[in-house]
């Protein structure tokens, strides 16, 4: 059965066209402390720009480090720090409580003063990683890659 599946997937034209090319070697990851509770430590990143759909041109990806559960939230490209905070409150914190720590890249939305003030008031630790360097947050980068593959597969001919 596994040989049949390998042969079937290997011959799927859509899968061949949409599969990401992994040209870089594996890098040494810097593991984070294991969270003590669900949604206690989350990671966030943006997938942008995407074709416009109902006024949205991007996706905010929020991943729980313990359970690997993911929220994909449609956003506009011009989202501000305040709108990012409100989006998190409405779509993540309302469902799963406040996290203890948020890991994100150094995007302008996360490094902005409004977000930093929100973290202080809510007693959330912020951990900023370097953009395009998944050694600290490879999990979110991997989820982004899978999401982009799905989008490519559904949007091709």
pLDDT tens column, 77-122: 788 888 888 899 999 999 999 898 888 876 666 667 667 777 887 8
Query: Whole-angstrom Cα distance, residue 153 to residue 151?
Result: 5
**Is the model's pLDDT at 71 over the cut of 90?**
yes
| pLDDT number for residue 37 | 93
CA distances (Å), origin 19, targets 13, 16, 115, 148:
10, 6, 35, 10
The answer to whether 30 and 136 have CB atoms below 8 angstroms apart is yes
Residues shown for the chain? 157
Estimate the share of the chain in helix, then strand, then coil, as percent rounded to the nearest 5. Answer: 40, 20, 40
Query: Whole-angstrom Cα distance, residue 131 to residue 62?
Result: 16
Query: Whole-angstrom Cα distance, residue 77 to residue 46?
Result: 9
| pLDDT number for residue 69 | 94
| Residue 94 tokens, joined | 């309302």
- pLDDT tens string 15-68: 777 777 666 555 666 677 888 999 999 988 888 888 888 999 999 999 999 999
Strands 101-105 and 41-47, by their bridges, are parallel
| pLDDT number for residue 85 | 85
| pLDDT number for residue 29 | 61
- For the entire predicted model, the pTM comes to 0.70
């Amino acid at each position: 059965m596994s040989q049949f599946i390998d042969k079937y997937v290997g011959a799927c034209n859509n899968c061949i066209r949409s599969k990401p090319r992994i040209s870089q070697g594996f890098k040494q990851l810097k593991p984070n402390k294991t969270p003590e509770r669900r949604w206690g430590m989350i990671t966030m990143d943006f997938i942008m720009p995407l074709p416009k759909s109902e006024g949205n041109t991007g996706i905010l990806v929020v991943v729980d480090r313990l359970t690997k559960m993911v929220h994909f939230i449609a956003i506009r490209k011009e989202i501000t720090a305040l709108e990012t905070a409100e989006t998190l409150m409405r779509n993540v914190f309302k469902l799963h409580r406040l996290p203890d720590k948020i890991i994100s890249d150094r995007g302008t939305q996360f490094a902005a003063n409004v977000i930093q003030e929100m973290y202080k008031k809510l007693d959330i630790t912020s951990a900023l990683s370097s953009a395009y360097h998944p050694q600290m947050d490879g999990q979110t980068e991997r989820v982004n890659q899978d999401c982009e593959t799905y989008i490519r597969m559904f949007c091709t001919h």
